[in-house]
Structure 1
Amino acid sequence: MASRPARRGAAPLQLAPQVKPALSVEEWEAKAPLGELEIRSIAKVKSASEHIPLPSKFSLDEAVASRPSTPLALQRNKPVAGSSRPNTPLSGSASARSTVHALHPKQPIQTPQQFYDWFALIDRSVAHSQEAHFRAHVANVSEHLSACDLLVEKIDLVDQEVSGMLEGWRGVEEGGKSLKDACQKLLEERDKLIELTEEIGIRLDYFQELEHATRMLNHPGESLVLQTDFLYMVERVDICIDYLKAHRHFREVEIYLFRYQQCMTRVMTLIKMYFVGSLRALSVDVSKRLYEKDVSPTAQMHLLYTRFKTVSSQLLPLLSELERRARSHPQELSALLDECHVAYFATRKSLLVSRITEEIKGLDPSHTELVELTRAGCSYLKQLCTDEFELYRNFFTSGEEQLYSYLENLCDYLYDDLRPRILHEPRLTVLCEVCTVLQALMVLDVYVYGEDDGTEPNDGEELSIDLDAQAVHKVHGLQKLHTSHLLEMVLQDAQTRLFFKAQSVIQSDIRYYAPRPEDLAYPEILINAEKPSSGTEIQEKASVSDIFRLPSIERQNTWYPTLRKTVWVLSQLHDFVKPAIFEDIAQEAINLCRQSLVAAADMIRVKAPLDAHLFLARHLLLLKEVIQSIDVAQREAGGSGSSVKNPAGMSDTLATMLSKTTSLLPDALFASLGMPRIDESIQEAKHGIDHELRRACETIITLCTDSITQPLHDWAIAPNTQSTNKIESEPSLKQIIKPSSHDVVTAFKHACTTELRAQAARLRLYLEDSRTVTARVLLEHVRERIGDAYEAFWEAAGSEGRERDDIMTVPLARRLLIDVCT
């Protein structure tokens, strides 16, 4: 083999000398230091090697011999058996060697040359004896090399045999691999054929199902639809139709698809015929028993609902298949489903019409009170529609539009009598009660989160009625009856009539209101209201919305009738009309109320100017509270994030009016400060009220201060009496005598304690409510104006050079004003 080493020769190998690294004594001492014991051992070896004795064969028998003995004599004296070195092999027999040693000289040494020759012989003998073990080792190595060469030859033979076996194994392996590949190809071809056969069989199943379906449909009898394999066959036919539609590239697929569709149409027709026939038979039986005498209401409910629910358990699976296929194939099967709906609704209507008519007649629509008729009739219809809805769900899961159309037809029997009563009702309170009844019936119809889509309600949302909620729920199927859809028409009629009636009331009782003398008897009305009531008065029950629960609403008997009527109309409308409509009518009512208040104040001004302006300010402040209440309610309903619950009081409004700056600020600034502002829808009405209120307040302040400040002003501008010398030169002018400042101050004190105290009491009488003392705002302005006039008088008195010790100081005057006004 190429990988094996070459055969060794018979001669020993010549080893190349290896150069050993030189190592000095110092390096040796540094790398291998000696201990004390080693040093002593080396010293002993050194001392022992200083005197090397001669070999034993050369030792003399006598220690004191004068000349060294020859090797032959040494050999004779001492045997060589105890020598440590091997002797040099000598020729000759054992007896001759024992007598004559080969190294002994043959002749005695006489000359130096003989000695040198003998010594050379001795030296060669010693060298030969020293190399004997090397020669023995070389011979041993040669024998080993010979054995190794023999082994190498044997290994080469074995290697050749193994190489031959390996080549044979490789040939067998290649042959087996070829056989394996051939078998694998055969297996793959077999698997492909099996898979192809299975796929062909699977595809053929969709075609072979037609024979099974046709064979089943050819069996006559209505009981076919009740067989256990019928619905399974329908499912298989539906799957085959879908499969063939998805694989229209198959051969003759259009023919099979058409025949499958024919089978599906025949199946659905059989279901429809069975359903219609079952309904007809059940209707005939129920009608016959209903027309019998003495049928109790419980028996009627059993016949109209329990009997139908019993049949529904058998018909529901069939109708579900029809509905599902109608959704999948609307062009072919929707007409059959519509026929089922028509047959069902016709059957139910024929059984219920007579019963509904009798119930409505029992309510006596012509003479029963409208509210009671609405409550009883709509409650009965709601229960009837709920029962019909639940019964319909036992048969169908679709057809919501047809169902609500059918329920509306049932409700029309009551609405035909209820609508004319609502449209001709003249009383606003009755219309509000009708709306309340209808909303109470609809409030349970509010969409409940989580019933259909699993969502949770928002805790911050308020309960509200959405009349268009049914449009949202159509996608979820028949989950819950939406009564709002059925009551929507009646509620809209009531709201429309309520709106027009409210407009009529606003025009007649607010715009064209003719005040009576007792309506303008101010302040007598307020004074009488302060007196304790006797408890014998009979007060009419009034319904007021929560948004108009104003702090001063408890004293409505002191209000002007138009304001009272405005609050009452708006409170009636707020909960029953849409916000946009309510804002429009509120703006109209508030504007007309303001105009009526201004007109009434003009009438009162003829006899009492101050009372007229206090009357106007009082009612305008109340009207502003109404506007702010509406604004807060709209913000809360609209989710604008406003947390204001109470509208601004009269005192806040007066402070705003008298500052004359609030109306100039933009709405964005108020929004950033968190302060409520009136919506733009009634902004115009608010501006009109602000203008009238500001003018009334300015007039009140002027009327309260002019009679007190005018003497002070006249004294300050009158000419000084010390300059009469200039006047005497003009005889045509009469000298004016100026009153003393002390007299003026005395008159000022008297006017404050009498007139101002009476005016302050009058202000509190008009502008005091149960929550804040709004008169204090006006009185502060009155005090400031009078105080400023007195301060001008004080400065004018000092400018004349007079002593002001006998005149009341400005702080004392202001303190007097505070005491009088509190």
Structure 2
Amino acid sequence: MFTTAAVRERLSRWDTLAALSDRQKECFLELSSTAANRPVPEHLPTEDGVVADVSGSLSSQLDSIQTSQQFMAWCAEVEAQAESEQDKCYREYISQLSQYRCQCGEMLEEAESALVTLANMRERHQFVSQRTGALHGACQQLMEDQTKLVNLAESISSKLTYFTELDRIGTRLGSPAFSVTSDGFLPLLSRLDECISFTEQNLHYKESQVYLTRFRQYLSRALALVKQHVVSTLRLTTSSVLPKPGAVAVLSENSYAQFYGKFRSSAPKIKALMKEIELRADTAAEYKNLLHDCCHSYVGQRGLLLTSSVHSSLAQITQQHSTDSTALVRAGCDFMCRVCQDEYQLYFHFFSVDSPELKGLLESLCYTLYDVLRPVVIHINHLETLADLCSILKVEMLEEIVSQKGI
């Protein structure tokens, strides 16, 4: 492709390279005059002002052309103007595209700025999320630690209550108004057992041995109060029904209230205490010893009350049946069965479990009958009479009375 300068250079040498003849010059002048008078094309504006302006402009420009070089420059200028007119829409479009490009660049910059801002926000969000997660974890750990501490405090408090009970128990036992018949005595006894059991299981606690000793001292004091109450009640009841000195009481149907009524009236309060003592007798030696002492005191008071009366009653029966040994044995055994049955029933008004002391009491009463009947039996020489006595003892006593009544 030739550049504009090269074209102009070639055109400047056109006259010398392609010289025209006279005839050709005349033809050129004719063509020039014809071209100057050529009508305006139909697609161009036909207004007189526009045509005049264009014609005037062309005429003025052509008039100023003197050489071929100027003509070539003018042609180049015209071509440039034509090209400029033709490319105007494209240049405008390019300008518009440039504006769009600038706007797109600005939008891209704004988008990049927004992305940077979003990235910063994402980083901050992650940071906040991490801090929030760490805070949540710390709070959760604090809650767990708090729960552990609360549980530990409750555990310590629950264990400490056993030790703080010492002063309260000591105060109540030392109160003059407090006795074994008070409503709070049995709960106090149960609390003492719990404290002793807890202290024995945790001897590794500080000063636990000291507290255990004190608790056992208080238990001994409480059980001593029980023993004192039971013994004094039994003695008072016995003294209220004992015959006066020199008088002899005989057991009969009319004397039942004297020997059993008052004891039964005082039995409920004692049995309530004895029931608690019996429940604990297998777990602690102190309760077992107390139960033994109470049973021994009861048996002693009953023996003191019954021994002389049983002797007197058997002596009266012996006197009534002195001539009939079989009637004597029958009446004596029947009397002793009633006494033993009444004593057995009365015993369970005070206690809930059997004891060797009760067996000893009944045996001592029965030995009284043995002492009465033995001299009579050993002096009987008739075999038939001895057989009758054996029949009475075996059939009437052992099979009928003892087996049926469960004595």
TM-score by length of 2: 0.63
Structure 1 residues 352 and 447, CA gap change in structure 2 (3 angstroms) = closer
Q: Find the counterpart in structure 2 of residue 349 from structure 1.
A: 303
1:185 aligns with 2:141: yes
Structure 1 residues 345 and 447, CA gap change in structure 2 (3 angstroms) = same
Helix, strand or coil: the match of 1:248? coil
1:327 aligns with 2:282: yes
Q: Find the counterpart in structure 1 of residue 174 from structure 2.
A: 218
Contact 2:250–2:309 (Cα < 8 Å) also in 1: no
The answer for unaligned runs of 5 or more in structure 1 is 1-153, 449-480, 484-822
Displacement of 1:297 in angstroms is 4.5
Displacement of 1:295 in angstroms is 9.7
Q: Find the counterpart in structure 2 of residue 387 from structure 1.
A: 342
1:230 aligns with 2:185: yes
Deviations 1:504-562 (A, max 9, x none): xxxxxxxxxxxxxxxxxxxxxxxxxxxxxxxxxxxxxxxxxxxxxxxxxxxxxxxxxxx
Contact 1:214–1:263 (Cα < 8 Å) also in 2: yes
Q: Which has the higher helix share?
A: 2
Helix, strand or coil: the match of 1:240? helix
1:206 aligns with 2:172: no
Contact 1:271–1:319 (Cα < 8 Å) also in 2: no
The percent identity for this pair of structures is: 30
Displacement of 1:302 in angstroms is 1.1
1:176 aligns with 2:132: yes
Helix, strand or coil: the match of 1:394? helix
Distance 1:261 1:410 in 2: 39
Structure 1 residues 174 and 439, CA gap change in structure 2 (3 angstroms) = farther
Match of 2:314 among 360, 373, 382: 360
Distance 1:403 1:296 in 2: 19
Structure 2 residue identity aligned to 1:353: T
Displacement of 1:340 in angstroms is 2.3
Helix, strand or coil: the match of 1:328? coil
Distance 2:344 2:129 in 1: 82
Q: Find the counterpart in structure 1 of residue 292 from structure 2.
A: 338
Counting only pairs closer than 5 Å after superposition, residues 106-255 of structure 1 correspond to structure 2 as 164=119, 169-220=125-176, 224-255=179-210
Q: Give 1 or 2 for the bigger CA radius of gyration.
A: 2
Q: Find the counterpart in structure 2 of residue 259 from structure 1.
A: 214
Structure 1 residues 415 and 173, CA gap change in structure 2 (3 angstroms) = same
Contact 1:425–1:431 (Cα < 8 Å) also in 2: yes
Q: Find the counterpart in structure 2 of residue 411 from structure 1.
A: 366
Distance 2:204 2:274 in 1: 34
Displacement of 1:425 in angstroms is 4.6
Distance 2:278 2:318 in 1: 42
Distance 2:155 2:305 in 1: 56
Structure 1 residues 170 and 420, CA gap change in structure 2 (3 angstroms) = farther
Deviations 1:107-163 (A, max 9, x none): xxxxxxxxxxxxxxxxxxxxxxxxxxxxxxxxxxxxxxxxxxxxxxx9xx8997998
Distance 1:291 1:163 in 2: 120
Contact 2:267–2:350 (Cα < 8 Å) also in 1: yes
Structure 1 residues 291 and 388, CA gap change in structure 2 (3 angstroms) = farther
Q: Find the counterpart in structure 2 of residue 275 from structure 1.
A: 230
Counting only pairs closer than 5 Å after superposition, residues 364-763 of structure 1 correspond to structure 2 as 364=318, 367-398=322-353, 400-423=355-378, 425-440=380-395, 441-443=397-399, 483=407
Distance 2:217 2:170 in 1: 10
Distance 1:209 1:173 in 2: 53
Displacement of 1:354 in angstroms is 2.8
Displacement of 1:341 in angstroms is 2.4
Displacement of 1:404 in angstroms is 0.6
Distance 1:447 1:206 in 2: 52
Q: Which moved more, 1:425-434 or 1:244-253?
A: 425-434
Structure 2 residue identity aligned to 1:219: S
Structure 1 residues 290 and 300, CA gap change in structure 2 (3 angstroms) = farther
Structure 1 residue identity aligned to 2:170: T
Displacement of 1:266 in angstroms is 0.6
Displacement of 1:371 in angstroms is 3.3
Contact 2:238–2:301 (Cα < 8 Å) also in 1: yes
Structure 1 residue identity aligned to 2:137: D
TM-score by length of 1: 0.33
Displacement of 1:383 in angstroms is 1.3
Deviations 1:455-503 (A, max 9, x none): xxxxxxxxxxxxxxxxxxxxxxxxxx963xxxxxxxxxxxxxxxxxxxx
Structure 1 residues 277 and 402, CA gap change in structure 2 (3 angstroms) = same
RMSD: 3.6
